[in-house]
Amino acid sequence: MDDIAQAFHFALKLILEGDRELFETVKLSIIVSLSASIIAFLIGAPAGAVLATQTFRARPAMLVSLNALLGLPSVVIGLFVYLLLSRSGPLGFLGFLFTPQAMILAQIILTLPIIAVMSYRATETYWADYRDTFVIFGASRLRAVATLISAARGALVTVFLAAFGRAIAEVGAIMMVGGNIRGFTRTMTTTIALQTSRGELALALGLGLVLMGLTLAISAAAFFLNRRMSDY
């Protein structure tokens, strides 16, 4: 118990004193996860709205595939990205393996199905309610998609926050493709795993406390956005 209490003491000290390694790790984690979430959102939100408004032969198969990808283990995504970016892989010439770019790519693949499925569900209800209106006024499908995204913007912000929370908590895939290189590709989750395995708990606990704080902040933001949206 004394060792744990001491570790917590040093963890708080690292946070309060602004330990450089700790906050550089936090900074990289936020940059990687935020970049991946933004890119995935820019692709996934319109894709979800298109699936909600369009009827085509491959639509059921796409929806089934996206839902199946929600349960895909992150290490499988890490393996896929590793093979893709390895020296003998089709994108090996980019030299992205064991870089932040590889970590961003892994998190894009991880969060894209989440955003697409949740965006589909968020816009499907609006489409069911206003489809006849779009038809009467002769709105194009592109215009309908843009309007639905605008109407569901409150829910879509929550979708983005959920994806960001999933991305920043990821460890398996980004450790495989990032290499967990100190000062270059170490994120909060990979550092926590490494430091704990070494028995060096102070930095691990410090990062764990910061990660818990970020997770709580994301959850609170999503809760209040949902509550505010339901009031209108």
What are the tens digits of pLDDT across the range 154-205? 788 889 988 999 999 999 899 999 998 988 999 999 999 888 888 888 888 8
Cβ-Cβ contacts under 8 Å for 201 (sequence gap 6 or more)? 3, 4, 7, 11, 195
Mean pLDDT, rounded, of the chain: 86
Q: What is the pLDDT of residue 83?
A: 95
What are the tens digits of pLDDT across the range 70-119? 888 999 999 999 999 999 999 999 999 999 999 999 999 999 999 999 99
Q: Compute the radius of gyration of the chain from its Cα atoms.
A: 21
Distance (Å, whole) CA 150 – CA 226: 16
Is the pLDDT at 35 greater than 90? The verdict is: yes
Residue 68's domain is classified under what CATH number?
1.10.3720.10
Tally the domains of the chain.
Answer: 1
Cα separations (Å) of 128 from 78, 134, 162, 165? 37, 11, 24, 29
Please tell me the number of Cα atoms within 13 Å of 219 on its side-chain side. 7
pTM: 0.88
Q: What is the pLDDT of residue 232?
A: 54
Name the region of 200 (left: φ>0; alpha: ψ -120 to 50; beta: rest): beta
3-state secondary structure of 57: coil
Handedness of CA 63, 74, 202, 37 (dihedral sign): negative
Averaged pLDDT for residues 41-61: 88
Q: Which long-range contacts (CB under 8 A, 24 or more apart) does 80-83 make?
A: 80/109, 81/105, 81/106, 81/109, 81/173, 81/176, 81/177, 82/176, 82/177
- Domain span at residue 164? 2-230
